[in-house]
């Protein structure tokens, strides 16, 4: 009896232990402890500027991965006519995309271009170690620093400069993304793009032309002049649109460099099939808008089923239409009337610029700044800028308007017949039925808060474009209309 009991106990014990060992080895095969992943060979990392990403890691083994990144301080365009001194990792905002897999041993060389003015460093959120690398990478202009780390956690991570004043370095564009793919890689998709939001603070208001210095007070107040994707207004519109074909799956690696604002990232007309929440392992499905904190990221993917232009926005919507956080994904291919049908009207979602608009009233008493003396071509150039920021969203790029909604300014008989009336429309707004080129419009044009000189310039541009009668509108004419009201 006694020995039988003992045998039973031993059998049970062996069973329990062996079961335990089996379980452990099963888990081990699926998810190896990343510190035990042995590297095989060395390779140089491919780095890409946005909106592009390097080739997927696929099933390559973990390697020693050489990353060479150079910091460049350089002037770039924030918007049409607005320049800014960007501080960059690799010459772009956001900085070069780094693609690794779990278990890689990254040897990171950070060099600071000799013509730069400031010291910098890099803090990568993918690093397990003090300062995320910042403590080992502080580098003066003309020098370089090398440090190494092993990627332990798969995910999409932000990197940024962490040199004092830290906020200023980030505000000037010093951020980017590093992807750590799991062993075997992420599931393959047809198109992948790199998008990163950032908020910018300039001495001048949104749209104010010239080289704009950083405004620390506005940054501290979190009062952004620009909120943009990929470092500037219009990086992902016009020539910069990202593209896909009907039936393809699209994955976006979306980061938020901040420095201050959280992004409510949304694609108008699409639903994210999968979101790697906060860039980690948790996958949420069927998501409309995903929240991306400053210093955080998300991986979203979706299949595009119908053709058209899909608008990427920060759904904190004034940022999109008035501060720049608006991009476009152009999908080509066959329509699928079952999924979507309807008459298509281009030009519904356009950037609107920063001009403050109000409903029309009966005259303005705002005193304008004194006029400067500009040549006709200077006035036209400045007027074009105002047009692109203020009028374009409604009257469209070639002044063609939108049928039944916004009258044309191109070859407009209404415009060409009476310059005082045209000045009045911009000055005070316009309501009630009007007829333009034989078509009736009965809508509302908001009053545009512009100075007399800006109104003169924008109308001079309009009158000297698209077959109009070349009237040269002066600030004096504008103030005359104002006072005759
Ligand atoms: C929010 C949309 C919107 C914006 C922005 C806008 N307009 Fe208009 N505009 C309209 C509408 C609507 C009408 C017609 C109003 C009506 O039916 O009474 C109009 C009418 C006009 C007209 C007279 C009709 C014609 O076609 O000749 C002129 C001139 C004009 N706008 C110029 C401008 C200029 C210049 C700007 C930029 C400074 C501007 N608009 C910005 C919507 C807009
Ligand atoms: Cu820096």
Say how many Å lie between the CA of residue 173 and the centre of ligand 2: 9
pLDDT tens by residue, 364-382: 444 445 557 899 999 999 9
Q: At what angle do helices 419-428 and 452-463 cross, to 10 degrees?
A: 130
Say how many Å lie between the CA of residue 138 and the centre of ligand 2: 9
Say how many Å lie between the CA of residue 149 and the centre of ligand 2: 20
pLDDT of residue 122: 98
- Give CATH superfamily name and number for 357-484: Cytochrome c-like domain (1.10.760.10)
Q: Pick the atom of ligand 1 nearest to 422's CA.
A: 29
Q: Pick the atom of ligand 1 nearest to 455's CA.
A: 38
Ligand showing the shortest atom-to-Cα distance for residue 385: 1
* pLDDT exceeds cutoff 50 at 47: yes
* Residue of 394, 465, 467 with the most ligand 1 atoms within 8 Å of its CB, for mutation: 394
Q: Which two tokens stand for residue 159?
A: 């990197």
When pLDDT is cut at 50, 70 and 90, the band that residue 143 belongs to is very high
Q: Where are the domains of the chain?
A: 42-181, 191-332, 357-484
- Ligand 1 neighbours by CB, cut-off 6 Å: 390-391, 393-395, 406-409, 412, 414-415, 422, 425-426, 430-432, 434, 436, 441-446, 448, 458-459, 462
Rounded CA gap, 447 and 449, in Å?
Answer: 6
Edge-to-edge, what's the strand order for the sheet holding 123-124? 47-48, 97-101, 175-181, 155-160, 123-124
pLDDT of residue 343: 80
pLDDT tens by residue, 294-315: 999 999 999 999 999 999 999 9
- Global pTM value: 0.81
CATH 2.60.40.420 fits 191-332, yes or no: yes
* pLDDT exceeds cutoff 70 at 39: yes
DSSP letters, 107-151, are EEEEEE-TT--S-B--EETT--SGGGGHHHH-B-TT-EEEEEEE-
Q: Looking at residues 440-465, what average pLDDT do you find?
A: 93
Are the folds of 42-181 and 191-332 the same? Answer: yes
**Which CATH architecture does the domain made up of 42-181 adopt?**
Sandwich (2.60)
Say how many Å lie between the CA of residue 292 and the centre of ligand 2: 23
Q: Pick the atom of ligand 1 nearest to 412's CA.
A: 27
Rounded CA gap, 480 and 290, in Å?
Answer: 51
* Residue of 347, 382, 407 with the most ligand 1 atoms within 8 Å of its CB, for mutation: 407
Considering the chain, what percentage of its residues have pLDDT values greater than 70?
A: 91
Q: Which two tokens stand for residue 165?
A: 């004043």
Say how many Å lie between the CA of residue 342 and the centre of ligand 1: 27
Smallest CA separation from ligand 1 atom 11, residue: 445
pLDDT of residue 369: 52
Residue pointed to by tokens 């990792």: 89
Q: Of 480, 464, 483, which Cα lies nearest the Cα of 472?
A: 464
């Amino acid at each position: 009896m006694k020995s039988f009991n003992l045998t039973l106990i031993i059998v049970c014990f062996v069973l329990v232990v062996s079961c335990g060992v089996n379980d452990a080895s099963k888990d081990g095969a699926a998810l190896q402890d990343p510190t035990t992943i042995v590297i095989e060979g060395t390779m140089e990392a491919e780095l890409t500027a946005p909106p592009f990403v390097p080739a997927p890691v696929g099933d390559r083994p973990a390697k020693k991965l050489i990353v060479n990144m150079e910091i460049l301080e350089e002037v770039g365009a924030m918007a049409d006519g607005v320049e800014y001194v960007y501080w960059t990792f690799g010459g772009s905002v956001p900085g070069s995309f780094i693609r690794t897999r779990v278990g890689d041993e990254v040897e990171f060389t950070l060099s600071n271009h000799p013509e730069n003015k400031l010291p910098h460093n890099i803090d990568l959120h993918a690093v397990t170690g003090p300062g995320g690398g910042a403590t080992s990478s502080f580098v003066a202009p003309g020098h370089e620093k090398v440090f190494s780390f092993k990627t332990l956690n798969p995910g999409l991570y932000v990197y940024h400069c962490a040199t004092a004043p830290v906020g200023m370095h980030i505000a000037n564009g010093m951020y980017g993304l590093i992807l750590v793919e799991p062993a075997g890689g992420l599931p393959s998709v047809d198109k992948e793009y790199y998008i990163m939001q950032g908020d910018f603070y300039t001495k001048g208001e949104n749209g104010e032309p010239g080289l704009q210095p950083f405004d620390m007070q506005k940054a501290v107040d979190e009062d952004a002049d620009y909120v943009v994707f990929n470092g500037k207004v219009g990086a992902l519109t016009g020539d910069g649109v990202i593209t896909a074909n009907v039936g393809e799956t699209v994955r976006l690696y979306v980061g938020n460099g901040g420095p201050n604002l959280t992004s409510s990232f949304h694609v108008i007309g699409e639903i994210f099939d999968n979101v790697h929440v906060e860039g980690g392992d948790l996958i949420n499905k069927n998501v409309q808008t995903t929240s991306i904190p400053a210093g955080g990221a998300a991986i979203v993917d979706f299949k595009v089923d119908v053709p058209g232009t899909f608008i990427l926005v920060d759904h904190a919507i004034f940022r999109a239409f008035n501060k720049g956080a608006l991009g476009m994904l152009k999908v080509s291919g066959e329509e699928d009337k079952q999924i979507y049908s309807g008459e298509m009207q281009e030009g519904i979602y356009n950037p609107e610029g920063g001009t403050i608009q109000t409903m029309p009233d009966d005259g303005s008493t705002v005193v304008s700044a004194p006029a400067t003396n500009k040549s006709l071509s200077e006035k036209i150039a400045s007027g074009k800028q105002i047009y692109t920021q203020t009028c374009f969203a409604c009257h469209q790029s070639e002044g063609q308007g939108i049928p039944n909604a916004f009258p044309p300014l191109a070859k407009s008989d209404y415009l060409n017949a009476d310059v005082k009336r045209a000045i009045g429309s911009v000055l005070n707004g316009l309501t009630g039925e009007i007829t333009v080129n034989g078509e009736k419009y009965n809508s509302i044009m908001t009053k545009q808060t512009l100075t007399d000189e800006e109104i003169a310039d924008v109308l001079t541009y309009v009158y000297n474009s698209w077959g109009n009668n070349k009237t040269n509108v002066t600030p004096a004419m504008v103030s005359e209309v104002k006072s005759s009201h």
